[in-house]
Structure 1
Amino acid sequence: MKVLLLYTTHEKQTLKIMERIKNRLGHKCDCDVIELLPDTKIDLTPYQAVLLGSSIRYGFYSKIMKKFIDAHYQQLNQIKSGFFGVNMVARKPNKNTPETNLYTRKFLAKILWKPTIKAVFAGALYYPQYNWFDRNMIRFIMWLGKGDTDVSKPMIEYTDWSKVEEFADQFYAEVC
């Protein structure tokens, strides 16, 4: 089975998650992992299944991903497909499902595509890599949400990798 694993990312955490999913699918599927950029052209016809992954920044999922979905929702609705979102709110136990995560719930309500399977994962903080504005804005947002604000740490990872692997297994069982 040919599967497209398409993602958008800011700090590459969504790529790390997508790579873990690809590795979990292993030899079961022929997977193409592609980063969706503004000039990326995708032909969905060779694929029997599609998984889209996107992270949020300042409360919004990628405009590029939204534009892609808007342009391809009819095709996406005709094949087996999945979506996962990545955001820091998902680090909280009561905000880590598509139904309980406000950002993911709002995003999915705004689009005409109805993925077969969906999930939301917590991301990671890369304070030293951010520019001054982003570092301080993200630190403020994390302070408001009672998260980690120590900008000296090289990376603070909240991703639950066992949950990612469970989702990959579920994606395979339901979609592939």
Structure 2
Amino acid sequence: MVSILVVYESGEGQTAKVSEYVENVLTARGHDVTVRRVADAADVDVTLYDAVLVGSPVHYRTHLPEVVEFIEANLEALSARPNGFFQLSLASTIPLKVAQRGDDAYVDSLVTKTGWQPDHVGRFAGAVTYSQYNPVERMVFKLLAAVTTGDTDTSRDYEYTDWDDVDAFATAFADDVEARLERDTATRRHAGTRRFTWAATGVVLLLGVMAFAYWAAARQFVPAEC
């Protein structure tokens, strides 16, 4: 069993849903998963976990500042263990190369800003939650939807997350974590066996030296034959 920390922040709740889904996938693999919002993670010690995932939505072409701050504050601990990052953005809903390049650019910007290079990266489509927007935001997202998805009915919300993609990301992360920890365990076991072998060899040599010394000393007290 592996202890995995999933830390995220969410705007309208879609990143929280993705984090819960990831938790379910990892828990089903038999792992001990802790899920915390960044706002509630000030006292979390990342070094106590075997692996870590961090998640954030993209708002106005950037990740949430509190997520960036968490990464910067825990950069060394994140880099020292299996890790991954996932983001939710509307760019992922648009099947155009320019949109996909923009989606990639969000991650590149995070890497440049924090110095963290995640082992695994998940890019998922988010949601348009008209019901949670103020009038100005509702108008902005309606205009964006008019030239992208066409989902301009502000009386309802739209979810675009591909849960199969989320499942594949979580599964690949679990596979990698399990394989790496298994290799680390085998390395430690091999190192322990090697140390035991050297120790056993040392004991045998010491016993040999002691036996020779005893034999040499005993010869001095044996009377010469007449």
**Structure 1 residue 107 displacement after superposition:** 2.2
Distance 1:141 1:100 in 2: 16
When the two chains are superposed, the root-mean-square deviation of aligned CA atoms in Å is 2.2
* Consecutive unaligned residues in structure 1, runs of 5 or more: none
Which residue does the alignment assign to 1:19? Answer: 20
Aligned match for 1:64, one of 63, 66, 71: 66
Q: Which moved more, 1:89-98 or 1:56-65?
A: 89-98
Which residue does the alignment assign to 1:130? Answer: 133
Q: Is the 8 A contact 1:5 1:31 kept in 2?
A: yes
Percent identical? 33
* Consecutive unaligned residues in structure 2, runs of 5 or more: 179-226
The letter for the 2-side match of 1:12 is G
Alignment of 1:74-85 (within 5 A): 74-85=76-87
**Structure 1 residue 139 displacement after superposition:** 2.1
Distance 1:39 1:48, change over 3 A: closer
The letter for the 2-side match of 1:162 is D
Which residue does the alignment assign to 1:149? Answer: 152
Matched residue pairs, number?
A: 175
Which residue does the alignment assign to 1:165? Answer: 167
Comparing both structures, which one devotes a greater share of its residues to strand? 1
Q: Is the 8 A contact 1:86 1:121 kept in 2?
A: yes
Distance 1:148 1:108, change over 3 A: farther
Structure 1 residues 80-138: Cα deviation after superposition (integer angstroms, max 9, x where no partner): 10000100111123568789533233223322111111111000111022111221222
Using CA pairs under 8 Å that are at least 6 residues apart, name the structure with larger relative contact order, 1 or 2: 1
Q: Is the 8 A contact 1:89 1:101 kept in 2?
A: no
The letter for the 1-side match of 2:26 is L
Q: Which moved more, 1:30-39 or 1:68-77?
A: 30-39
Which residue does the alignment assign to 2:90? Answer: 88
Distance 1:43 1:115 in 2: 19
SS at match of 1:45: helix
TM superposition score normalised by structure 2 = 0.71
Distance 2:91 2:72 in 1: 25
Comparing both structures, which one devotes a greater share of its residues to helix? 2
Aligned match for 2:106, one of 73, 94, 103: 103
Which residue does the alignment assign to 1:45? Answer: 47
SS at match of 1:32: strand
Q: Which moved more, 1:127-136 or 1:113-122?
A: 127-136
SS at match of 1:65: helix
